[in-house]
Structure 1
C-alpha cells in the first residue's frame, strides 16, 4: 500500500501523534480515506480535512471507510452551505454576551470544556443562536491538542424553563450539528 506524503501543501501531513496507537488495519483505513479526499478543491476543505479530522470520522464509524467517507462528505456539503469559517464574532456579540455558551478550560484528558447554560438565553434570533453554537464548536476544535478528538459538553439546566427555552424545532438542528459535523 502507499502511504501519504510526509508533507503536503494542503495541511494534511503525516501525523505521527494521530497514528501512534492505530493498528495496521486502522492505519490502512486512514490511508484509504485520505486517498479518497486527495482532490479537494477549496482551501477551506483542505484546511478542514486534516489527517486528524479524517481519523475522527473513521473512529465515529468504527473505521468503516465507506461510512466515514459518506459522513465526511456530508459535513463538507454542510460546511459549503453553512460556511462556518465566515462566522464573525462581532456578528454574534449580543447572543454571546449572556454567557449561554462558551469554551473554558480542559479536562484531565485535554478535552476542551464546552458549557451550555440555557437559563442565560437572551435572544429569539434562533439562526444566530445556532451560528453561535457552530462558532463556539469551531473554537473548541481549534483548541484541541494533537491526539484529542473529543470535547466535554456540560449543560447547566438550573433556572431553565419555558420562558427561556428555545423552540422544540430548533433543538434538533443543534443536536444534528453536534452529532454529525
Structure 2
C-alpha cells in the first residue's frame, strides 16, 4: 500500500455507538450514587474552585464524566467527589485546553508522539516512540505538556460512548542512555491516573528491550495499581488474532502474542504489520491535528 501522510483522526462508522446511556449496566446503588454526585455534590465542588473557569468545564461535569470518577473510586462517593475537586482545580491551574500550539508545536516536529487510527473498541490510538523523541528533545516537561494536549484532542475525537484511548509505545532501541529519566515517565503516568481517571484503555508496549524491564522495575512500585494492570507487552507485532480480549477487567495486562488482538489491520500502522502506512509529515499532520 502507498504510504500516506494523512492521519486517521475520525473513527470508522462501524466503531461508533448509535446511542449511549451512562446509566446502562449500573446497579441501583451505583445509579443512585451518580444521581447524588450531580444533585448534592457537584455544585459544592464548583463553588470551591479558585481561578478562571475553562470554556469546556461542562464537559468534565456531565454524567458521563462523573461516572468515570465514580468508577475510578470504586463508587466511593466521597472519594470521587474529592478527586473531581482536585482535578477541576488542577485543570484551572494547569489549563490543558489552553496549551499554546506555538509552544508545543516543536515537540510535534520530533515525530515521537502523534494520534492516528482507532483500536477495536473505537478508542483513539496515541503512538509514542521514546528514543525518537529523546534524540532531538531536551525538554521533557514540554513533552509532557504536548502529551496532555494529545490526550485532550483524543477525547475530542472519541466516538459517542467511547471514553478511553489506547497508547502504543515503541521501545525499539531504547536504553537508559537515550531515554527520559524514569521520573518523567512516572510523572506523566501519575497525571494520567489522577486527572484523567478511566481514560486509559490499554497501554501497549511493543519491541521491548532490556531497558523496558529495567524501567518497569524502577517505576512499577510507584505506579497507580489500576494503570499497572493496563500495561500490555507484545513480543511479536505481526501475528493476527480473531477477536479482541475483554477490556474492562483485571486480565488486560501482561504479555500478549499479537497486537492484532487490540487493533484491526486497517487501523494499525504499517511499521507494525498493519495496512495503515502512515508516514509522519509534520506540516500535514499539524494542520489536521490543530483543526480537531
Deviation of 1:86 (Å)? 0.9
Q: Equivalent residue for 2:79?
A: 67
What is the correspondence of 1:95-174 to structure 2 with a 5 Å cutoff? 95-121=107-133, 122-174=136-188
Deviation at residue 73 of structure 1 after TM alignment: 1.3
**Hey, what does 1:179 align to over in structure 2?**
193
SS at match of 1:155: strand
More deviation, 144-153/37-46: 37-46
1:6-48 CA distances to partner (integer Å, 9 max, x unpaired)? xxxxxxxxx9522222222211111111121135363443342
Query: Residues 58 and 65 of structure 1 are in contact (CA less than 8 Å); yes or no, is this contact kept in structure 2?
Result: yes
| Regions of 4+ moved over 6 Å | none
SS at match of 2:116: strand
State how 1:4-83 maps to structure 2 within 5 Å.
Answer: 17-35=21-39, 36-38=41-43, 40=46, 42=53, 43-83=55-95
In the TM superposition, residue 132 of structure 1 has moved relative to its aligned partner by 0.4
Residues 95, 128 of structure 1: 8 Å contact kept: yes
Provide the rounded CA distance (Å) in 2 between the counterparts of 1:132 and 1:150.
18
Measure, in 1, the Cα distance between the counterparts of 2:20 and 2:125: 25
Unaligned runs of 5+ in 2: 1-18, 48-52, 196-292
| Matches of 1:21 and 1:148, distance apart in 2 | 15
Instruction: Find the residue that maps to 1:17 and give its secondary structure.
Output: coil
My pick for the range that moved more, 142-151 or 15-24, is 15-24
Deviation at 1:77, TM superposition (A): 1.9
Q: Provide structure 1 residue ranges, at least 5 long, that are not aligned to the other structure.
A: 1-14
Corresponding residue for residue 3 of structure 1? none
How many residue pairs were aligned? 167
Please give the TM-score of this superposition, normalised by the length of structure 1.
Answer: 0.83
Structure 2 CA distance for aligned equivalents of residues 88 and 175 of structure 1? 22
Check conservation: 1:18, 1:146, Cα contact below 8 A.
no
Task: Tell me if structure 1 keeps the 8 A contact 2:20–2:161.
Answer: no
SS in structure 2 of the partner of residue 154 of structure 1: strand
C-alpha RMSD of the superposition:
1.9
Larger helix share, 1 or 2: 1
Matched residue SS, 2:22: helix
Does structure 2 retain, via aligned residues, the 8 Å contact 1:130–1:174? yes
Q: TM-score, normalised by structure 2?
A: 0.53
Which of residues 99, 106, 122 in structure 2 aligns to 1:94? 106
